[in-house]
Amino acid sequence: MPELPEVETVRRGLLPAMEGRLIERAEVRRTGLRFPFPEGMAERLAGARVASLRRRSKYILVDLSTGETLLIHLGMSGRVLVSGTMLGEFHQPHPAPERHDHVVLEMEGGARVTFNDARRFGAMDLMPTASAEDHWLLRGIGPEPLGNAFDETLLTARLAGRNTPVKAALLDQRLVAGLGNIYVCEVLHRAGIDPRRKAGRIASARVATLVPIIREVLGEAIEAGGSSLRDYRQTDGELGYFQHAFRVYGREGAPCPTPGCTGTIARIVQSGRSTFFCPRCQR
């Protein structure tokens, strides 16, 4: 499932085609994906101007001039692709329609925004902009890891007393928004923390080191356009490249890349998810 860097990359890719522009026509080709689409979604989108595009955790929020916000969640295999725009000196033509193109937005200026989702685990919804944070998918989500509200004091307080493994704690969206399996594995390796350690048993000084490392890993991943393992694509259809910089994720049996470490990357299962780490240098 796309995590924060992938969703942020998609949001940034949509900005030139959507922000400040009118949705001239909206085509909705099915009644819903993971959840039913809101009633009259095509009619409510058509004629609206996009005021801004935001991201909250793993959700893209498109604020409209009508006072509503379009929520987009990519799910497992969702892609938001932009065509009909200029790439340098070259025009990117509209591709032929595909079977899993479920929602198509024709934008002012000639761009087309297509939501494609083969497995149909994605979601779209419309909600009042003024109360968007109260939407049932967003309510209760923790602070953004790249925002000012997320700091060493907050993380230390939220991990204190927790009897769950630190990896599971960091995946809890109520604690911090947007972190998923890939990036938590990468963060814990850089921090030298064993993912099996009880969150509440880690010294506060070590917890404090997680905050800059989380920001570092996410920043590098966004700069690389995210990680493409299966379905994820950027808005121009290109792959992300951060998977080539993975230190542990998906590298079971490979030598640990930590300088001076002679360990081998191992894989275990925690809460039904694969965890990759170095048993020698992560303690």
Catalytic: 58?
A: yes
Catalytic residue among 56, 58, 233, 251: 58
The phi and psi torsions of 63 (rounded to 5 degrees) equal: -80, 130
* Active-site residue (options: 3, 8, 68, 186): 3
Active-site residue, from 25, 197, 206, 273: 273
Task: Select from 9, 36, 35, 124 the least CA-distant residue to 73.
Answer: 124
Closest CA to 83 of 113, 109, 53: 113
Concerning whether 167 is annotated as a catalytic residue, the answer is no
Active-site hit among 2, 5, 143, 165: 2
Active site residue 3: yes
Residue 152 · residue 102 · CB < 8 Å = no
Q: Which class for 217: exposed (0-12), middle (13-18), buried (19 or more C-beta within 10 A)? A: buried
Verify whether residue 43 is a known catalytic residue. Answer: no
| Catalytic annotation, residues | 2-3, 58, 273
